[in-house]
Amino acid sequence: MKALFIIPARGGSKGIPRKNIKTLGGRPLIAYSIDVARNIAGDTELHRIVLSTDDAEIAACARALGLPVDYSRPAALGSDTTGSREVIIDVMDWADTRGIDYDCIVLLQPTSPFRTAGDVAGAMALYTSDSDMVVSVCESSANPYYNLFETDSEGCLHVCKGDGLLRRRQDAPPVWEYNGAVYVINPDSLRRMELGEFPRRIPYVMPRERSLDLDTPADWLAAEALIAAGATTCAG
């Protein structure tokens, strides 16, 4: 199976300014996603790694890490309102015009530095052409059968699902949340519909310690603390 690896890294991040090239564990954040993609792609022509950025400094950082940067994201796709689908399809169009062959898209967001090459390989192994997407998840700490509630017309709380009689979290059915680490996407499905409309989404389960998604300064501090404590290491 041929994969088109896409690492999206726009320059205008707001929650953590310049986060994609901010130093974490002694290296720019984007280095960890590049390393993971390379570990899967190797030196063969089977897979292709594409950095999608609108930022010259991020592109220069990737080149310094040894990743060729042949594609440039249009400025129109660089705003914080641009969705992942538009970004991915633009890379697909670029690849198609250059005769680059691929069977699936592997989206690796730089904000998941603890994701490993094994996680990516595991998600790819679950992918088939009959699925729309394999997506990495972790078990959610909030559960609609146990500790998530909605208000009724009178403003009273009621558990979201079930009868509300569960006394222990362990008795509730497990529920999952996207952790942002790995998306293995069917290109044909993506051209037909939005990611949220995919009817066949297959979970790849990751432990919470590798599921930290760096979106806020607090997330960044948590990542630094984990590394300092030796609780986990950035992937490579």
53 contacts: CB under 8 Å, gap ≥ 6: 8, 9, 10, 11, 20, 59, 62, 69, 72, 73
Q: What predicted TM-score, i.e. pTM, was given to this entire model?
A: 0.92
The residue ranges of every structural domain in the chain are 3-138+175-229, 141-174
Class of 3-138+175-229 per CATH? alpha beta
Per-residue pLDDT tens digits for 207-231: 999 999 999 999 999 999 999 988 6
Per-residue pLDDT tens digits for 118-147: 999 999 999 999 999 999 999 998 999 999
Q: Can you give the three-state secondary structure of 49-81, one letter per residue?
A: EEEECCCHHHHHHHHHCCCCCCCCCCHHHCCCC
Per-residue pLDDT tens digits for 157-178: 999 999 988 888 888 999 999 9
The whole-chain average pLDDT of the chain stands at 93
HSE-up of residue 26 (Cα within 13 Å, Cβ side): 5
- Is 45's pLDDT higher than 90? no
Per-residue pLDDT tens digits for 103-115: 999 999 999 999 9
